[in-house]
Structure 1
Amino acid sequence: MKSLIQQPDGSLYVRRDDSMKAVGIIAEYNPFHNGHKYQIEQARQATNADAVIVIMSGNWVQRGQPAILDKWDRAQMALENGADMVIELPVQCAVQPADIFASHAVNILAGLKCEWLSFGCEHPDINFNELANVDLKETKIVHDFTKSYAELIREALINATEEDVSAPNDVLALNYAIANRKNDYQMKLVPIKRSGANHHDRNLNNDGSMASASSIRLAILNNSKELFHYIPESTNIELFKNHVDWENFWPLLKYKIETSSIDELNHIYQMTEGLEYRLKKYVYEAQSFDEFLRLVKSKRYTYARLKRLFVYTLLNWRKNDDLCQEYIRVLGFNKNGREYLNKIKKQIEMPIITKINKDLSESELNFDVVSGRIYENINHIPQDAGKIPLIY
């Protein structure tokens, strides 16, 4: 039998009744909050998808931070609040500039045969598909070394289209669209208006149930009970006792920099333009991670760029490392998610990983395993060895 399904753009497609269609979401859930639950609900409603598949950063996130809660706790929150399956974005793909982060995440969603790609953004009325076709190579980019690369690209886009794409989630949305177009995946984009607080807001929004992840992280670090107004009721509040932040890792980072030579630091991935000298200079002066970050900061580098570099340094990523491995690491699923995976697994070309063995630890998953062990040093909870997917 066949059924007629309406898509978000109003068009219709015919689907066999025994098939399943999935909408993909790229997320970090750092941590999971009411806004994320709202996005999952809206994505499912807008697409009438059979399954919601989440690609989630693991223990280290895109803007160069340790996740405030580990990947298992955050996957659990997602599964309890609407996700049907949570896949870990490999750490070497997650801790990257927006374009590389987006490219890998979109590749994996396409590999999972998702029909739609949904994302939260500040301005869902922007035609991301149209902007994705703009060739900035034909636009003169002024190389101003007092500005970050992201600022230069933003200015070039404004010059080419008069469209200002500068809000954090709009930038990611554009990069998702570019990756989708570049690889001809043809996933249908489903932008959803971010509800409530702005991405970088540091104060809890007491006027509603939505707050930014930044303000919630700050509330967690300050042990504020107010944060639970912005977290789904199903969340186990005991999970928040396991939180971490960069200050916990500061002694490890400091040791790594102090015991490495200039030449060794120079070989770290993305260590450019003499940054190794700045790290060596200021590591002796700084008394905390935040102070170190402020001392190293210059107009040329964003805080996110530097924090990613600190992750690469801590995890000892080298310039000649192969950071392009992609695979499907299942962190958890419910009955619906398992059914979807079973129906499509013969079509999937990427490795599907549900349990780590010694060979995987030393090959494809080496970066994830090593980064997990570093994280374990702080939260003291096993991250990979012997772990199997959460089942709901």
Structure 2
Amino acid sequence: MKAVGIVVEYNPFHNGHLYHAASAKAQTESDLVIAVMSGNFLQRGEPALVDKWTRTEMALENGVDLVFELPYERATSNASSFASGAIQLLDAAGCSSYCFGSENGSIVPFTTTLSRIASVQTQYDELIRKYIQEGISYPKALNRAYSALIRSTANEQETVDLSLPNNILGFHYMEAAANIGSSMKPATLPRLGAGYHDDVKHGTPIASATGIRKEFFETESTEPIQQFVPNSVYNSLNNWIIERTSFGSWDVFYPLLRFQILRSGPEHLAAIADVTEGIENLLYKAARQAETFQQFMAIVKSKRYTWTRIQRMLTHIYTGFTYSHRASMPAPDHLRLLGMTRAGQSYLKEMKENMKLPVVSRLANFNSASADFSSSVSDLYAFGINPIHPSLGLDYRIPPIRKD
């Protein structure tokens, strides 16, 4: 069986994701779709709207055949590390190809861009370091170095615009695949309709996940987003809010985050992953003053630290993820199976002897620093959603979800 891999967060699953899964399968002429999906905390450093089990069901009901979890240490990392972890898992799962959405929509400019950067790699890396030392964030430093060395001397149609979020991730996917010598063939699809950060536009079926979340939190109702998601997803979201009382967001999690910061104090915050350059003192000061998450971010945000970078720090503070933890998890060491369709189950049977990493369906039977930490994070997520009645131990109690 031939599988195409995709990297997803599904926060939440929407009609654009439905198109992505179906089109990736068709374009690569694959028999099934394998998704590597972030767990309960996401790449932009925020809690997922609903947990990974609910999002797995959404995926399996809408065109995905196997869902593996991208472990916490990669799911909440920068674009390069996020992409590297995801590509290693898709490669280990035996995918013949991988497919990502991009603003560019064509794979050739990505290939050209990789080749051009490789030809000036040393100069490129030095320029990035120079810009970072000047106080520029890493994403902006990368794009400025790229513009100076590559885009300024090339036809814009030949290379990729790395100021756009999906193009950036796509570039890192291809970079990661090249670094491990993967035989997977890359493919890309043009992003449909709304841009990454666009608000929803009613009367159209496509909206970004960011726009959908914003619409929900502003209206406190799922009804305005119904047109943008499959019916099964709409029903899942309604069931979630009835059973759990709230969706995941930093506004909801902030009281527990604030407690964690105040209890730890600046000296302990300095050991948390991504907390650098004395910012622990500012974080502590902000927690003492701010009664809401928005007030907290208004105090901490600066030109040097992007909103996303700060949120990643806060995610690690909330979960207790330290530099020591990160050092103990240098590379993915398992394929954590969250769910499968009948086709997915057949693929696992066929590929059982050829998987490059062990497939883990029950955590009780597997010992790993990465798996153990991702499991503890699931409990912390449950506390954030509903601290009075949290759903604890789900990673050990729920077997992989099966859909016919």
Same fold (TM over 0.5): yes
**Taking structure 2 as the reference length, what is the TM-score of the superposition?**
0.88
Shift of 1:386: 1.0
Shift of 1:66: 0.4
Alignment correspondent of 1:131: 113
Alignment correspondent of 2:223: 225
Alignment correspondent of 2:131: 143
Per-residue CA deviation, residues 37-96 of structure 1 (Å, 9 max, x unaligned), is 000111011011011000000100001010001101111011000001111111111000
Shift of 1:381: 3.1
Per-residue CA deviation, residues 341-364 of structure 1 (Å, 9 max, x unaligned), is 11112111312110121864x744
Shift of 1:240: 4.4
Q: Which amino acid aligns with 1:147?
A: I
User: How far apart, CA to CA, are the structure 2 residues paired with 1:234 and 1:249?
Assistant: 27
* Correspondence for 2:377 among 350, 364, 371: 371
* Correspondence for 1:210 among 203, 206, 223: 206
Q: Map 1:67-86 onto structure 2 (within 5 A).
A: 67-86=48-67
Alignment correspondent of 1:292: 296
Contact 2:93/2:356 (CA < 8 Å) preserved in 1?
no
User: How far apart, CA to CA, are the structure 2 residues paired with 1:189 and 1:254?
Assistant: 43
Q: Which amino acid aligns with 1:279?
A: L
Alignment correspondent of 2:9: 28
SS at match of 2:194: coil
Q: How many pairs does the alignment contain? A: 371
Alignment correspondent of 1:329: 336
Contact 2:103/2:167 (CA < 8 Å) preserved in 1?
yes
Q: Which amino acid aligns with 1:81?
A: N
Structure with the larger helix share: 2
The question of 1:356 aligning with 2:352 is answered: no
User: How far apart, CA to CA, are the structure 2 residues paired with 1:254 and 1:359?
Assistant: 34
User: How far apart, CA to CA, are the structure 2 residues paired with 1:370 and 1:324?
Assistant: 19
* Correspondence for 2:36 among 55, 60, 65: 55
The question of 1:272 aligning with 2:268 is answered: no
* Correspondence for 2:145 among 126, 133, 156: 156
SS at match of 1:55: strand
Q: Map 1:34-53 onto structure 2 (within 5 A).
A: 34-53=15-34
SS at match of 2:170: helix
Q: Which amino acid aligns with 2:402?
A: I
User: How far apart, CA to CA, are the structure 1 residues paired with 2:48 and 2:100?
Assistant: 20
Q: Which amino acid aligns with 1:232?
A: P
Per-residue CA deviation, residues 74-120 of structure 1 (Å, 9 max, x unaligned), is 11011000001111111111000000000000000000111111011
Alignment correspondent of 2:82: 101
SS at match of 2:289: coil
* Worse overlay, 116-125 or 362-371: 362-371
Q: Which amino acid aligns with 2:310?
A: L
Shift of 1:155: 1.0
Inter-CA distance 94–350: structure 2 relative to 1 (3 Å threshold): same
Alignment correspondent of 2:196: 199
5+ unaligned residues in a row in structure 1: which ranges? Answer: 1-19
* Worse overlay, 288-297 or 172-181: 288-297
5+ unaligned residues in a row in structure 2: which ranges? Answer: 152-158
SS at match of 2:19: helix
Q: Which amino acid aligns with 2:122?
A: K
Contact 1:24/1:54 (CA < 8 Å) preserved in 2?
yes
Contact 2:360/2:366 (CA < 8 Å) preserved in 1?
no
Alignment correspondent of 1:14: none
* Worse overlay, 266-275 or 139-148: 139-148
Alignment correspondent of 2:185: 188
Per-residue CA deviation, residues 100-145 of structure 1 (Å, 9 max, x unaligned), is 0000000000001111110111111362122223134223333253
Alignment correspondent of 2:154: none
User: How far apart, CA to CA, are the structure 1 residues paired with 2:365 and 2:187?
Assistant: 40
User: How far apart, CA to CA, are the structure 2 residues paired with 1:233 and 1:261?
Assistant: 46
User: How far apart, CA to CA, are the structure 2 residues paired with 1:263 and 1:366?
Assistant: 26
User: How far apart, CA to CA, are the structure 2 residues paired with 1:356 and 1:58?
Assistant: 15
The question of 1:247 aligning with 2:232 is answered: no
